[in-house]
Structure 1
C-alpha cells in the first residue's frame, strides 16, 4: 500500500482574521483555504481580543475546522482611545483619517500619538510576547521549517524578524501594502526621529527575510532599490462565489463597495454626474449612486454640495457575501484610488471581486496606476484620471446608452489568472524556492 504523502507545515502570522471584516482578511483566509490542496498544512497565528474596526462573522464559516489556529492575547491602545474619545477614535482606526482642514485638536493629538509613540503601528505591544510564545512553539514543533508574516500592520513582520534572529528558519514576508511610502504616513505627523526609525525597521525586515512577496509591480520596483533578497509579485484575487442568478438593479446604478476614505473624494466625478443630471433628463431619472461600506463625512458633505444626496442610496457596511451580491446587481462599479504618486502601487482588493462580478468598471486614479493596467488587460472597464472630467462624462454616457439598450455588459479576458486557487499555486511555487 502506497504511503500517504506527508504535508509540509508552514506557520502563518496574521493580524486580520475572522471575525475581522474588510479587505485585509481576505488574502490569507483564501491562501489558507487552498494550501492543503497543494500538500501544505497551514498553522495560523492570530491575536485574541483584537480591536477590529470591521466585523464579518460569516467569514468564520470559511475556516476549515482542520486548520490549527494559535491565539495570543493582544492589548491595543485603540481600546483605550475609544473609551477616551468615543467613535472618533474607532473611525480613525478603520482608516477614516479626516482631511487636515477638518481635523480637531483631538484628531491631531491622536494622529501624533499613533505616529510617534507606536512604531511601526499600534500593535507593536504584541511583538515581544508573540516572539516568546512562537519561539517555544517552534521548539516543540521542529517539523515547521517556514514562517510567513503578512502586513500591514507591519508589527507582524517584527515578530518574524525576532524569530529569525532566534532560530534557523525560512522567513517569507508578505507585503499587502508598502511600508514607509504608503500615503497615510504623511498624515501621521511623524517626527524626524520617528521617520528614521520606520526606515531602519523597514530596511532590517527587507534585508533579513529570506523571501519577499508584494502585490504590485511598483512595490516590487521600490523594494528592489532597498534589498537584494528575492521578490515575488502575487496580486490579490477573487474566489468563486456560488450566489445563484442575481437580477440587475432597475436603476442605472453606479456602485462603490467598500470603505470610501476622505482622500479618495473624487470631486471631478461628482461634478461630472451633477452636470449630466442637469443636462440629460433621462440620465437624471435613471441614475442612482449606491454606496456600500463605511463612508467618510467629507464624501457625504461633498455629495450634498453637488446636490447628489437625493440620488444616493447609502446602505452602510454589509458582510462580504452581501457585498458580492450587490456587485453583481449593480449596473456599473466604481473604483477610486487617491490621486497621489504614493498610491500608484496600491491595487485595491475589491478590484478582483469587481472583475469576477462581470459588471463594467469605472476606475479613477493617478497616472500610471498599477490597477489601471489590470483593468485594461482584462477588458473589464475603463480608466480615467482626476484631471479628465470630460472623459469621465463620456464613459458614463457610453455606459448609460448601453444600459438603455440592454447591452451593458463586459467581455472579460484572462480572469482565471486572478482566481484564488491559481494564486495559491503561485504562492506554493515561491515557498518551494521559485522566488521570482
Structure 2
C-alpha cells in the first residue's frame, strides 16, 4: 500500500544510533537513502543503553532524513550498564571470557532478551499501520528471529541483511555440538521465512547456499559495504605538497586476532634501524583503545609516534582517513 507515494518498511535493528562503532553505519545509511527509492523507513531499536561508543551525529543524520525511530527497553546485559553510558573496552582476556559465557548461555546471542519486547512493540505498530516490508539486519541474530516471527504472524514479506556471517563468523564460539546444531536450525528457520537474503560478501552467500540447500541462488543478493559521498569533504589538491610527516591511519576496533601488535613492532624496528626518520612517521589510531595496546606502545617506546585518537564522530573519522597518506587495514 502506497502512502504519499511511498511504500513502508519496518527495519529491525538492535544496533542503531546513538550507538556508535561499525555495526550501525550500514543500517543508518540504508534508512537515510531508502526514501530516494520510494520507501519510507521506520526503525525499531532499543532505548539508549550502555555501550562502547556513541555517535549523536549519526542519529541527527537519520532524524534529518525523516527516519521514524521507535525505541523499546531490552532485557540484556547492556541495559544493566545504562547508567554508565560509555563502557570501557575490556582486555582481550576479559573479552574472551565474556564471549564464552555469552555464547554458552544465550542463543543465538546475548540480545535474546529483546526478542519478546520487540515482537510485542512491532506487533502494535503493524496493527496500527500497514507496512509493505520487514527488514531485519544482523548481528545480533536476535533481529532475524524477531523478523521471522513477525513474518509468520502478519504475512508481510521479509528481507534479512547479513552484515556478518552467522555460523561462519570468525569470532563466534560454539561451546558444544548441540550449540552449533541449534544455531544451524535457527538459521534455517530464518532463511525459510525470508523472501530475500542480502549479504555483504560472496563468501557468505556461498556458505549459505552450501549449508541450506532449500535456498535458491537468486534469493541471495550481494550488496557490499558502500560509502556516503556526503561524508567526504572536498579534497584539497595541494595538501600533499612537501609533507613534513607521513601519516598512517587506522579506523576501527582491535579485538581477537585483529590487533596492532605486528604494526607496532614493525614501526619500532624501522625507527630503530633508521633513527633519522623518527618524528617523520606517525600512526594515528581512530577507535577505542585497549589497555594492553597502550602498554605495548610504552614498552616499545613509540609514545611519540603512535597516537590514540579515541572514538570520533563519523565525519571526523572520515576526515582522519582523507588526511592520511597511508591507510592501514587489518
- TM-score with structure 1 length normalisation? 0.66
How far does residue 140 in structure 1 lie from its aligned partner after superposition? 2.6
* Residue aligning to 2:101: 113
* Residue aligning to 2:27: 28
- Equivalent in 101, 111, 115 of residue 123 of structure 1: 111
Deviations 1:300-320 (A, max 9, x none): 344344433342112222211
Query: In the superposition, relative to structure 1, how do residues 226 and 128 fare at CA in structure 2: closer, same or farther (>3 Å)?
Result: same
1:57 and 1:37 map into 2 onto residues whose CA distance is 23
How far does residue 124 in structure 1 lie from its aligned partner after superposition? 0.5
Structure with more of its chain in helix, by fraction? 1
* Residue aligning to 1:73: 73
1:25 and 1:239 map into 2 onto residues whose CA distance is 14
- Equivalent in 198, 204, 212 of residue 197 of structure 2: 212
- Equivalent in 110, 129, 139 of residue 127 of structure 2: 139
1:62 and 1:78 map into 2 onto residues whose CA distance is 24
Native 8 Å contact 1:175 1:213 kept in 2: yes
Matches within 5 A, 1:243-282: 243-244=233-234, 247=239, 250-282=244-276
Native 8 Å contact 1:262 1:297 kept in 2: no
Deviations 1:17-68 (A, max 9, x none): 2211111111121111111111111122111233332101111221245332
Native 8 Å contact 1:50 1:74 kept in 2: no
How far does residue 259 in structure 1 lie from its aligned partner after superposition? 1.4
User: Structure 1: any 5+ residue segments left out of the alignment?
Assistant: 337-436
How far does residue 133 in structure 1 lie from its aligned partner after superposition? 2.3
How far does residue 175 in structure 1 lie from its aligned partner after superposition? 0.6
Matches within 5 A, 1:176-195: 176-186=163-173, 190-195=175-180
2:200 and 2:96 map into 1 onto residues whose CA distance is 31
Query: In the superposition, relative to structure 1, how do residues 153 and 301 fare at CA in structure 2: closer, same or farther (>3 Å)?
Result: same
Query: In the superposition, relative to structure 1, how do residues 163 and 82 fare at CA in structure 2: closer, same or farther (>3 Å)?
Result: closer
How far does residue 262 in structure 1 lie from its aligned partner after superposition? 4.4
How far does residue 141 in structure 1 lie from its aligned partner after superposition? 2.2
- Equivalent in 201, 206, 216 of residue 221 of structure 1: 206
Native 8 Å contact 1:50 1:76 kept in 2: no
How far does residue 281 in structure 1 lie from its aligned partner after superposition? 3.7
Native 8 Å contact 1:260 1:299 kept in 2: no
* Residue aligning to 1:38: 37
Is 2:276 the partner of 1:298? no
1:58 and 1:266 map into 2 onto residues whose CA distance is 28
* Residue aligning to 2:16: 17
1:44 and 1:153 map into 2 onto residues whose CA distance is 15
Secondary structure at 1:238 match in 2: coil
- Equivalent in 145, 157, 175 of residue 170 of structure 1: 157
2:98 and 2:270 map into 1 onto residues whose CA distance is 41
* Residue aligning to 1:58: 57
How far does residue 6 in structure 1 lie from its aligned partner after superposition? 1.9
* Residue aligning to 2:226: 237
Native 8 Å contact 1:206 1:226 kept in 2: no
2:158 and 2:88 map into 1 onto residues whose CA distance is 34
- Equivalent in 301, 319, 337 of residue 313 of structure 2: 319
- TM-score with structure 2 length normalisation? 0.86
Deviations 1:92-134 (A, max 9, x none): 6xxx561xxx45xxx6653343112221112111111221222
* Residue aligning to 1:391: none
- The count of corresponding residues between Structure 1 and Structure 2 is 318
Secondary structure at 1:174 match in 2: strand
Native 8 Å contact 1:9 1:41 kept in 2: yes
Native 8 Å contact 1:47 1:71 kept in 2: yes
Native 8 Å contact 1:82 1:90 kept in 2: no
User: Structure 2: any 5+ residue segments left out of the alignment?
Assistant: none
Segment drifting more, 319-328 vs 302-311 = 302-311
* Residue aligning to 2:148: 161
